[in-house]
Structure 1
Amino acid sequence: MIIISKPWIRIKAENEDEINPCDIISGLTFLGDDTSPNLTNNYQDLSGQDGSLSTYSNFNRTVVNARFWLHFKDYYDLKLAQHDIFRLFMNKKLMRIKTDAEPAIVKFVRSGNFSVEPVVENANDAVFSIPFENPSGYKFSLLRSDSLYTYDEEGWQIGMNLPNGEDLVYRHTVPQFKIYNASDIPIDPYYQRHDLKIIVKFNGNSLQLVNKTNGTSWTYNKSSNGSDIIVLDGINTTLNGTPASANTDYGNLVLEKGWNDIVATGATTVDSTFSFPFIYIG
């Protein structure tokens, strides 16, 4: 027997529990969603020169169209369902959504304007779409790199660019190691404001982390006895929760797609954790 699973969508608003709206609103069925990347290429025209000079490209916000079917008994049942749907989705909050098609990949969205009306007059069914606005233009892994396998199958799926037969480790206590970035794009916390946290403890006069794959680096110029928790959060550094960027060279690391060769120097011992969500396009 072939078992066909029923599509589902789960949403999680800020500081709220994750829910399936179809479990809450009677007669509501999720039909699926679709979206496409929104890439803008920018050019500069030079006087007297044919063509245009390519300057830069960037991903812009996208719209995720989630389709629903609502079955109701009568006009009064429809009015109650409309109120529940609008109250749930049109709340001004940033919401995390995931679906059965990509259970380990999420999008952070806000609802756009939509209506819920019968397919024809006096019908007992409505088919409608909610245009969720995705301001980042990205999709993200449900879990961060350092907790990828915490929930077994909930944390990964086919299509996440994960290598077969490779152990992906994001905490290391040796001075030379590899970090795997399964994203579709490089992780760049400076120019693209991507989420990358590097948590380190070290013993020594200073610490430098260098990504030999692309030459980016970060140096902490003060000594530590191995008990301090030093965090490079994007481009900002903290020492035991207190701002400490002044103790650094104001550098940052960029992670290329795939494997990155990282080297730690200047410390006698080092414990480093790379924590970031994988970023996907589409």
Structure 2
Amino acid sequence: MGKPKLYVKAGNDAEIEVSAVINGLEFLGDSTSPNILNTYQQNTGVDGQILVASNFDKSTVNANFHLRFGSYYDLKLAKHEIYRLFSSRKSIRIRTDAEPAIVKYVMATPFDIAPTEDYSHDSLFTIPFDNPSGYKYSLARSDEIDTNNKLIQMGMYLPSDKDCPYHFTTTNFQVYNPSDIAIEPYEQRHDFRIEASFNGNSLKITNTTNDTTWAYNKPAVKSDKIILNGVNTTLNGNPASVNTDYGNITLNTGWNSISVTGATDVDINFSFPFIYIG
């Protein structure tokens, strides 16, 4: 078995494998755990407390490294390269070869790089990354994935016994959410986009599994591109939420039954990253 690998992508830069670009640096693996934040309400005179909300708070990803260097000057140069790579004011995307199709968006917190002992040519150090969302995401969005490409891996909980499309031209279909949690663009501000084109006087999309709905109440032709991005709607790139009922669609975990009414000639695409915990 090969050594663990850490891949880093900062902004629009190309993704890099850290041990390939910093001489002597070896990634040893990472660890993280969900950080569950429970909020309670205490009522005077009543025993115990009432659970008000349970949320996933920001978590910490600890990435462990070994640095081998030849001299004090090599150590100084390597430290500068490591701090330059990881210490950014912006979020960076990381993934490992253990979960090649899963990414985290993180920011480094303070860390030190020092020899393991005097006159040593080795350093063992840990970079604690803040993971503000507390989530892990699929590398690719739902509409970029098919069962034969490299953008999926074991543990993503995609069905193996049934096709799992996200592009539809019928008025009744099923959408699969393999995430650990529901996709909630309004309540949790999750990244979720529905792209729709239709001929007709209106379009209403209903998730009959959980009774969430969104309706576009104006006529359109098939060349129009209507996008529900979270809770905001655009028509051909221009704001168009005023043309809707201001609804939103959420996806339960697993299969969701979707019904489309108001138009018969439709083209609908569901696009979202899968969300995982831990």
| TM-score interval, normalised by the smaller of the two chains | over 0.9
Gaps of 5+ in 1: none
Secondary structure of the structure 2 residue equivalent to 1:128: strand
Q: Following superposition of structure 1 onto structure 2, how do residues 202-241 of structure 1 map, counting pairs within 5 Å? A: 202-241=198-237
Secondary structure of the structure 2 residue equivalent to 1:194: coil
Aligned to 1:41: 38
Q: Report deviation, 1:162.
A: 1.1
Gaps of 5+ in 2: none
Q: TM-score, normalised by structure 2?
A: 0.99
Q: Following superposition of structure 1 onto structure 2, how do residues 3-152 of structure 1 map, counting pairs within 5 Å? A: 4-149=1-146, 152=148
Q: Report deviation, 1:5.
A: 2.1
Q: Report deviation, 1:149.
A: 2.5
Matched, 1:184 2:173: no
Q: Find the partner of 1:249 among 245, 252, 263.
A: 245
Secondary structure of the structure 2 residue equivalent to 1:119: coil
Aligned to 2:275: 279
Answer with 230-239 or 51-60: which moved more. 51-60
Secondary structure of the structure 2 residue equivalent to 1:222: coil
- Structure 1 counterpart of 2:166, one-letter code: Y
Q: Distance in 1 between matches of 2:221 and 2:113?
A: 62
Moved over 6 A (4+): none
Provide, for residues 29-63 of structure 1, a one-character-per-residue CA deviation record: whole Å limited to 9, x for no partner: 00000000000111111111111111110001011
Aligned to 2:194: 198
Provide, for residues 147-169 of structure 1, a one-character-per-residue CA deviation record: whole Å limited to 9, x for no partner: 1128x442111111111221110
Q: Work out whether residues 194 and 270 of structure 2, in 8 Å CA contact, stay in contact via their aligned partners in 1.
A: yes
Q: Work out whether residues 216 and 245 of structure 2, in 8 Å CA contact, stay in contact via their aligned partners in 1.
A: yes
Q: TM-score, normalised by structure 1?
A: 0.97
Matched, 1:270 2:248: no
Aligned to 1:159: 155
RMSD between aligned residues: 0.9
Q: Work out whether residues 205 and 259 of structure 2, in 8 Å CA contact, stay in contact via their aligned partners in 1.
A: yes
User: By percentage of residues, which structure has more strand?
Assistant: 2
- Structure 2 counterpart of 1:157, one-letter code: Q
